Amino acid sequence: MNSLPITQRCAPTQRSCRLRSLPRRVLGAALPGLVAAVLCLALQVRMLGQETSPPSAPAPPPPPAATNATTSAPPAQPQPPTGIAPRDPVPATEFRVCTWNIRNFGVTDQLSGGRRFRGMKPEEEVAAICAMVRAMRPDILAVQEVVSADNDLYLQMLQRRLREAGVDYPHITTARGGDTRIQSAILSRVPFVRVAHRTDDTYEVLRRTAFPQDAALAPRPATPGTGAAPRPGQAAVAPDTESSPVAPEGVKPTIALGQGAPGTNGPSAAPGASGSTAQSYGGAPSGTTTAVLLVNRAILHVEVEPLPGRRMHLLVAHFKSRRAAPLYDDPATGLKGDDVMRRGEAAILRRAMLAAAGPDESQPVLAMGDLNDSPTSMAVRAVVGPRPARGVEPGWRLLPLRDYLGDTWTAMYASTDTYNRHDYMVANRAALALWDAGASHLYRHRDGDPRELHTMAASDHRPLIAVFRLTPASANAAPAPAP
């Protein structure tokens, strides 16, 4: 049995353990130095390889600077994609034009709220006019049915009320035609460069002198303001019937029989057709003679210059109403007298439009107003002009205005609960090149608008708004293509 102390028995074992761990301690102490030496050697090898590689070719010297500006090539300009015109760097100015029949603005026979009375246009309707104009913000406001008065009292009242509502039109102009009861007017933010109203233009019609079918159909003189009901069988005479447009004795017509719109005799026959009653009908029909009529309401014509070098002609018309005019019924064609009268006025307006556009039709022209007829009527077609051949761009177009619901009606007659398109804007190519179709529209209120902004709160017609985008003439050498 081993009697050595425990410490003596364990000593050899501890010594052998220390000897076996010695290589690991030596390697751990030397490892960082070995790694550093390897990295240093690799770096030296890489540097030695770069020093022994052949040198690269020197960069060519830069070309000498041009000594003459005419010999240096201009810098390349970015080109737009094919078929897309460069954008105009000059921002376009918005030019807004509005036409609106504001219905009997003044003291006259009124129809409001289902009742007839004689007096001033109701205050709530006047306030609605001001509120709607303030909302539309037109630069040009063309109005129809301003009651005629000494010193243009009601027109000045309209101007003042609009100014008080925050819409100032310092420039106004008006004129009267054969109808002495109402007139049209133009209110403008910009001055008028030229004013050339047509107040004395006339047209020739057939006038009936006998009514063999029924003597009661013979028209009686209109008496504005009476409101008298017609007798049974008699032509109705409304309280606000236009005054007689008969021209003074001896006045020669501007538009003779056989001139005007195509497809009819009388004042609307094709240009170049026969020019007298005897030639048109092979002798005047029994019970008729010829008459010369003044344009019912003056055709207004102004030229404005919203921007330097950017001028536009504006014409405003208000044709004969749709009330019967049996005195001028055409027995040869069966046309009603009011149709004949509107076609005579259409021929006068068309002549004024062509004169404003110039020989080459390069001047922008916008004709507008209440024409009191449908888009397919002879009167409206006479204003727009003949339809061009297939594939040919028309020289004049009705602006296809709609409201945000897509409706195109412009007048609502409560007595018959009917909606009609009787108000128009007609533009030539030069004006169409400036027209913003997306911003132009028919007025219509939206849900939540106050009562004074409701579409029919002020009149039985609603406003038409055309928007044009203008730049100074020097900014655009050539007009943009028509839409």
With H, G, I as helix, E, B as strand and everything else as coil, classify residue 331.
coil
Q: Find how far residue 67's CA is from the centre of its chain.
A: 56
User: According to the model, what pLDDT value does residue 31 have?
Assistant: 66
With CA atoms as reference, report the closest residue to 470 among 133, 190, 173.
190
DSSP 321: -
pLDDT score, position 48: 58
In this predicted structure, what is the pLDDT of residue 225?
Answer: 36
Which of 351, 372, 390, 361 has its CA nearest to residue 296? 372
- Which residues are CB-contacts of 338 (< 8 A; sequence separation ≥ 6)? 320, 321, 322, 323, 324, 325, 328
**Look-up of token digits 């132009």:** 440
Give the alpha-carbon dihedral of 448, 453, 458, 463, to 10 degrees.
Answer: -110
Q: What is the domain partition of the chain in residue ranges? A: 93-198+297-326+336-470
Query: Please, which contacts does 113-117 make with residues 24 or more away whose CB atoms are closer than 8 Å?
Result: 114/414, 116/227, 116/239
Q: Name every residue whose Cβ is closer than 8 Å to that of residue 279 and which is 6 or more positions away in sequence.
A: 258
- Per-10-residue mean pLDDT for the chain, 483 residues long? 47 49 57 67 61 51 46 46 44 92 95 88 97 98 97 97 98 94 97 96 86 46 37 35 69 75 39 32 62 94 96 97 90 88 96 96 97 96 90 91 98 89 98 97 97 96 97 57 40
Question: Quick one: CA dihedral 84, 85, 91, 97, positive or negative?
Answer: negative
Structure token digits, residue 209: 């002198």
Element (H, E) at 43: helix 22-52
Helix, coil or strand: residue 419: strand
* Stretch (H or E) spanning 9: helix 6-20
DSSP 58-111: PPPPPPPPPS-GGGSPPPPPP-PPTT-PPPPSSPPEEEEEEEEEEEEESEEEEE
Pairing of strands 441-442, 423-428: unpaired
Identify the pLDDT of residue 47.
61
The pTM of this model reads 0.72
- Burial state string for 66-86 with b = 16 or more CB within 10 A and e = fewer than 16: eeeeeeeeeeeeeeeeeeeee
267 contacts 255 by C-beta, under 8 angstroms: yes
CA distance 259 to 269: 5
- CB burial of residue 354 (10 Å; 0-12, 13-18, 19+): middle
Is residue 399 helix, strand or coil? Answer: coil
Phi, psi of 96 (to 5 degrees): -105, 130
CATH class of 93-198+297-326+336-470: alpha beta
Q: At what angle do helices 123-136 and 153-164 cross, to 10 degrees?
A: 60
Q: Please list the residues that pair with 194 across neighbouring strands.
A: 303
